[in-house]
Structure 1
């Protein structure tokens, strides 16, 4: 027997089958599978119904599952209060910083992170690229959301009704191109942004590409970007590479905040073209 076989054997000896099955049961629930029957759970695990009865009973008694009917279950409140309390307490900037610094180092482009406050995009962190031509927006800067790539990403979280309420008293025609001049124009841009999963914005000889950061609920809680001189991001090949790196970075940050893979993938387009 090889050393690897010995290690695997010892590892298997330490497994607790009942605990393993219990955790796999909890993993079955997601935004598509919100309720599952006991028979369906047993089939997914590849075991008999009798072999998981005590596990289902224990999870229900502890509040990790709750019964909807005789043999139908959904996740219980204990999953939310215990599983996500730590994730929710993590500050998005603290989580994002090492990833953005790595992204900056890989691309030699500046990276920023913003959050939304009403109709403004608030810059809360920057990973500044130390080169002669770079985009450097100080922390604390506020820019109208509809004027920037990250701002539009943040607005993608809102429904049409909420956007109408938010902008009912806001004039959009006072800002220079390429900012939208009206609410219908902004709504159309946001529809396209949601479908694409990222936003590119060109202005003042610079280009910015932005995408969303999501939390454990799948909601957009922040936006990140890559920004630099227009000449640097002028070719399709470079833009495609930057978009791929940006989306990967956003996925890593979102995963650290508790977002599930399906939530992240649903918010990102597979296209690599600008």
Structure 2
């Protein structure tokens, strides 16, 4: 069944008299295509948009001439050039703006808090967050800082560094026991970071605060550089370590992949992007 995206002439609101109806109708032709209808005939497009066959044909021929639509016999489909329409929007977005909708979707699906952070010195700095509930003794806001070595996002960011850079960071860190479970030995931390590097994610179990668990995945740029991290934070009463790996890690990694893809689309020519240096 073809969906309906018809434009009702009577419903068009023209508060300033500047509304360009032909542009709106042309865009409705583009929006008529989706995953269920990647190819359509002229008649199907006319039904989907509520336009006449003659009007649909004019818009299709215009889009064909501009390179946004291709024709294969009676069937029309979009070309990759339509991605240009969204590129300007993406290129103007900052990392927090790119991450936020994905974090909101992730939090809604797992009913736990999600965050994004970058590395700044020896700390992580929160740049985006969706709080499902308050689970820490301190309130987390945009700009909140925590020591990188004791957080899942921090370990993902540290594990993404080159060895020499990592060793310089560890030398500058003041590592201390925040809880009885905190890894505070440099050798033990190096071993854990190597494990994080190999598996591609980090899980911290009550090392930042008793009763708190978190799991994090990296945000990467096109060349594989880790530029940020996102996490899911929960409580020991809500999830076991095994439950986090089974139920939270897959949606977390999917969200990280989507944010990475959007970031690459918005910053395709920044191969040297480094953590903490490009917040906007």
Query: Is the counterpart of residue 160 in structure 1 residue 163 in structure 2?
Result: yes
CA contact (8 A) 1:206 1:228 kept: yes
Query: Is the counterpart of residue 90 in structure 1 residue 93 in structure 2?
Result: yes
Query: Is the counterpart of residue 134 in structure 1 residue 135 in structure 2?
Result: yes
Rate the CA distance shift 1:194–1:86 in 2: closer, same or farther, 3 A. farther
Structure 2 residue ranges without an equivalent (≥5): 1-36, 45-68, 82-86, 266-280
Q: CA deviation at 1:202?
A: 1.6
How many angstroms apart in 2 are the aligned matches of 1:91 and 1:14?
42
How many angstroms apart in 1 are the aligned matches of 2:165 and 2:90?
27
Matched with 1:181 is 184
Query: Is the counterpart of residue 206 in structure 1 residue 220 in structure 2?
Result: no
Q: CA deviation at 1:178?
A: 2.9
- Across the aligned residues of Structure 1 and Structure 2, the Cα RMSD in angstroms comes to 3.2
Rate the CA distance shift 1:208–1:168 in 2: closer, same or farther, 3 A. same
TM-score (norm 1): 0.60
Q: CA deviation at 1:182?
A: 2.4
Summarize deviations over 1:39-98 as a string: whole Å, max 9, x none: xxxxxxxxxxxxxxxxxxxxxxxxxxxxxxxxxxxxxxxxxxxxx998676311110100
Structure 1 residue ranges without an equivalent (≥5): 24-83, 260-274
Matched with 1:112 is 115
How many angstroms apart in 2 are the aligned matches of 1:114 and 1:5?
43
How many angstroms apart in 2 are the aligned matches of 1:124 and 1:188?
28
Considering only CA atoms, is the larger Rg found in Structure 1 or Structure 2?
2
Q: Report SS of the residue matched to 1:201.
A: strand
Q: CA deviation at 1:235?
A: 6.5
How many angstroms apart in 2 are the aligned matches of 1:14 and 1:162?
58
CA contact (8 A) 1:233 1:239 kept: no
How many angstroms apart in 2 are the aligned matches of 1:121 and 1:189?
18
Rate the CA distance shift 1:207–1:169 in 2: closer, same or farther, 3 A. closer
